[in-house]
Amino acid sequence: MPEYTLRIRRYDPQSGDAPRWDTHTVDLSPVQSVLDAILKIKDDEDGSIGIRCSCQQAICGSCGVRMNGKPGLACNTHLEEAAQRGHGTGWNPPDEGQETPVITVEPMGNMPVIRDLIVDMDAVHWKKIQRVTPWLINKEPVPEREYIVPHENMVDVTQTMACIQCGACVSDCLAMEVDPLFIGPAALAKAYRFVGDPRDADHRERLHDLSEDPHGIYDCTHCFNCIDACPKGVAPMSQIMRLRRVAGSDYDINDRNNGYRHEHAFVKNIRKNGLLHEADLLPDSYGGKFNPRAVPELISSLPTAATALARGKMTPRTVLGHPHKAPPEVKKLFDTIDGKQQRYELNLYVSGYEDEPEATETEEQS
Amino acid sequence: MRVAYWPGCVSRGFTPELHGSMAKVAPLLDIELIELDRAACCGAGVIAEHNQELADTLNARTFALAQQTDGELMMNICSTCQGAQSECQERLDANTDYREHVNSNLSDEGLRYERGLSNKNFLWLLVENIGLDELKSRVKRPLTDLRVGPFYGCYIVRPVDRLGVDEEHPRDRYLHWVIEALGGTVIDYAGVYKCCGFPIITMSKEASLKQAGRHLGDAIDADADCLVVPCPLCHLNLDLQQPVASKVVGRELGMPVLHLPQLVGLALGLSPKELGMNKHIVRPTSVIDWSTSVVAGAPS
């Protein structure tokens, strides 16, 4: 069987010692898991390695760690796959003199380390889950018997229900890295589970709360890390975008964070111009050039604008007017589609993918 | 090769040097650009967030316009366009009924999107269609001793399944490869795959610029001469907003940020000015100094 080298980050905050890296070599099949390797090392070499684990079947969500820089469950990541991850990067340097593939195992990010690979899920993850009222608020009167929910509504929330609370998405959330108060991907995905449930009585209240919170739905920076991190296909960022869609388009919640205004200003801008006119978008995102909210923003951007004008990056013509206007066909698409009473959406998590098409001419040429 | 060329909005708006430098670099690589001048904004994820069908229709329209040309494929120079369009294309290609529905929105204009368009960022096209050996053979001024930090951003590398990042196409290594092929030195720093923060600049300015400021600071600490980005929106936060980001993170920055075609153009012998580097907010002094120091060695 092939050998793998595991570099495990060891740290005990209470000891006063700095973190260190321990290296162990294991002899295991490529399709055994990183957790198998860690448990073998614990059994054979060093029983003091701290890791949380239980089911070993990717359902309890206990064994979230970072492997070669990427978060996931140690129990459902094959050694072979972990070794391949981040190949050639700092975590997994190119094979210069290395005899065996290296897998660097670290605790998850954005959460304090309790010991070695164990992070404090309470301090960050669970607090944020509690923040979003993670239970159903019944409509009154509660039906005496079963509450019949339309099938399509239930299918709609199954994606968020697949979450096993492992924290992998929280670990690599880039918005949380700069704003630790951001409610974050796991909790917001949980929030959609109730906003998408027709039995819940407080959709508007929930959305209002999540939109008005400066660390709420409009703090997500679209980095897609949570989508790649999730071992269960929850796609938390997509759920956050759905929360925004429902808050902005169905409930017209005009939040204090400019989320609603920015979205509507953007749509209006493209409907009018076809191509984005940035000089209009900025003030419009704050409510318009003469809005008291926009004035400090516009003043603070004056030095940048002056430099940009001086360098020819912007010209008075591109700032004041826009050389491009949307063709009438584009305007018509906006009016027809955006004017529909019911939005038409495709959720690939529910519909699945049709078989790949035969290679087309363009693909062959490329 | 002839390509249906989608420059996007910002490359013709607040980063005109991007569109300009691509136009100068294309002939040097024998790329013939057929500009899609009737197409509209990809929506940058914001329109999809507002109304998915609208975003998918706008992009299906762009794809249909590209398919009407005789270009081998469609090429963009904006990661955000790549990401937003790939997301729409994923839905359109995955479901015939949905595609037909979206196509029905385009029927008045006589347009129709057929499944399977190849839409590639210039970075992918450089590696997969032109090839690194060919690129190398065209280098006139190798970027010797120029220390370049790749900044991939988000939309061009994640999610990996949608963007086709796999063992066969390690698209998350291409910027590294291109810098090396052009003769430069790749600088690894903490921000290589992080987010510039631009999408929340109007919603959460401090969090947005803290991201930009940290990555720029990390690149400075790693002794980079400049960063290179395949996305004009990253450029807005990393260059246009750099003076403000510097205040947010409380340190001096002054890190030049180049667009990918500018870096390529520099190695292909174009001057910084021809590539519009004089338009940047952070003057790429280190790059200009470097180019003048090696200009004598450049064959004509």
Rounded Cα gap, residues A82 and A32, in angstroms: 11
pLDDT for the residue A365: 44
* Contact residues, chain A, for B118 at CB < 8 Å: 362-363, 366
A118: Cβ contacts below 8 Å, ≥ 6 apart:
A50, A51, A52, A107
C-alpha torsion A256→A262→A265→A269, nearest 10: 170
CB burial readout B64-89, b (16+ within 10 A) else e: bbbbeeebbbbbbbbbbbbbbbbbbb
The answer to whether A256 contacts chain B (CB < 8 Å) is: no
* Residue A114 CB neighbours (<10 A): 19
pLDDT for the residue A96: 53
Retrieve residue A6's tokens. Answer: 């595991």
pLDDT for the residue A291: 85
Nearest chain B residue to A236 by CA: give it: B159
Kindly report the three-state secondary structure assignment for every residue of B206-251.
HHHHHHHHHHHHHHHHCCCCEEEECCHHHHHHHHHCHHHHHHHHCC
Rounded Cα gap, residues B163 and B200, in angstroms: 23
Rounded Cα gap, residues A166 and A114, in angstroms: 16
Rounded Cα gap, residues A19 and A4, in angstroms: 22
* Contact residues, chain B, for A174 at CB < 8 Å: 194-195, 211
- What string of DSSP letters covers A244-288? HHIIIIIS----TTSHHHHHHHHHHHHHHHSS--HHHHHHHHTT-
Question: Is B128 a residue whose pLDDT tops 80?
Answer: yes
Angle among Cα B112, B40, B161 to the nearest 5 degrees reads 70
Nearest chain A residue to B116 by CA: give it: A360
Select the more confidently predicted residue: B300 or B211.
Answer: B211
pLDDT in tens, B248-269: 999 999 999 999 999 999 999 9
Nearest chain B residue to A341 by CA: give it: B51
Q: Is A228 in contact with B12 (Cβ distance < 8 A)?
A: no
Please state the rounded mean pLDDT for residues B209-223: 98
What is the distance in angstroms between the Cα of A74 and the nearest Cα belonging to chain B?
A: 20
pLDDT in tens, B88-103: 999 999 999 999 999 9
**Location of structure tokens 């174009």:** B270
Question: Is B157 a residue whose pLDDT tops 60?
Answer: yes
What is the distance in angstroms between the Cα of A63 and the nearest Cα belonging to chain B?
A: 23
pLDDT for the residue A89: 53
Quote the mean pLDDT of chain B. Answer: 95
**Of residues B47, B109, B279, nearest to A267 (C-beta):** B47
Q: Is A214 in contact with B204 (Cβ distance < 8 A)?
A: yes
> Residues A213, A259: contact at Cβ < 8 Å?
no
* Contact residues, chain A, for B121 at CB < 8 Å: none
> Residues A270, B47: contact at Cβ < 8 Å?
yes
Question: Is B8 a residue whose pLDDT tops 90?
Answer: yes
Nearest chain A residue to B57 by CA: give it: A333
B 40-69 → A contacts, CB under 8 A:
40-41, 43-54, 57-58, 61, 67
The helix/strand/coil state of B61 is helix
pLDDT for the residue B154: 96
Retrieve residue A241's tokens. Answer: 């975008």
- The backbone region for B126, taken as left when phi is positive above 0, alpha when psi lies in -120 to 50, beta otherwise, is alpha
Please identify every stretch of chain A with a pLDDT value under 50, giving residue numbers as ranges.
88, 94, 361-366
Q: Which residues pair with A103 in a beta bridge?
A: A6
pLDDT in tens, B160-179: 999 999 889 999 999 999 99
Retrieve residue B29's tokens. Answer: 């690589």
> Residues B18, B77: contact at Cβ < 8 Å?
yes
Q: Is B158 in contact with A88 (Cβ distance < 8 A)?
A: no
The answer to whether B104 contacts chain A (CB < 8 Å) is: no
Rounded Cα gap, residues A271 and A275, in angstroms: 9
* Amino acid of residue A66: R
Q: Is B158 in contact with A227 (Cβ distance < 8 A)?
A: yes
Q: Which residues pair with A6 in a beta bridge?
A: A24, A103
- Give the burial class of B266: count Cβ atoms within 10 A of its Cβ; 0-12 exposed, 13-18 middle, 19 or more buried: buried
B 271-290 → A contacts, CB under 8 A:
278-281
Nearest chain A residue to B4 by CA: give it: A362
pLDDT in tens, B32-68: 999 999 999 999 999 999 999 999 999 999 999 999 9
Rounded Cα gap, residues B1 and B254, in angstroms: 38
Q: Is A276 in contact with B41 (Cβ distance < 8 A)?
A: yes
> Residues B113, B99: contact at Cβ < 8 Å?
yes
**Location of structure tokens 């400090």:** A296
Is the bond into A141 cis (omega within 30 degrees of 0)?
Answer: yes
What is the distance in angstroms between the Cα of B299 and the nearest Cα belonging to chain A?
A: 30
Helix ranges (H only) for B132-235 are 132-137, 160-163, 174-181, 205-221, 232-235
Cα dihedral B200, B210, A167, A228 sign: positive
Length, in residues, of chain B:
300
A 262-281 → B contacts, CB under 8 A:
262-264, 266-267, 270, 274-278
pLDDT in tens, B279-299: 999 999 888 888 887 654 555
* Amino acid of residue A55: C
Rounded Cα gap, residues B74 and B240, in angstroms: 28
Residue B185 phi/psi, 5-degree rounding, is -105, 125
Retrieve residue A202's tokens. Answer: 């407080």
Rounded Cα gap, residues A155 and A71, in angstroms: 27
Containing A39, the helix (H) or strand (E) segment is: helix A34-44
**For chain B, counts of helices (H) and of strands (E):** 14, 8
What is the distance in angstroms between the Cα of A19 and the nearest Cα belonging to chain B?
A: 19
pLDDT for the residue B295: 56
What is the distance in angstroms between the Cα of B91 and the nearest Cα belonging to chain A?
A: 7
pLDDT for the residue A358: 56
Interface test with B, best of A80, A89, A110, A178 (most B CBs within 10 A): A178
Interface test with B, best of A210, A223, A255 (most B CBs within 10 A): A223
Q: Is B50 in contact with A285 (Cβ distance < 8 A)?
A: no
Query: A216: closest CA among B229, B207, B61?
Result: B207
pLDDT for the residue B172: 92
* Residue B265 CB neighbours (<10 A): 27
**Location of structure tokens 């000891």:** A15
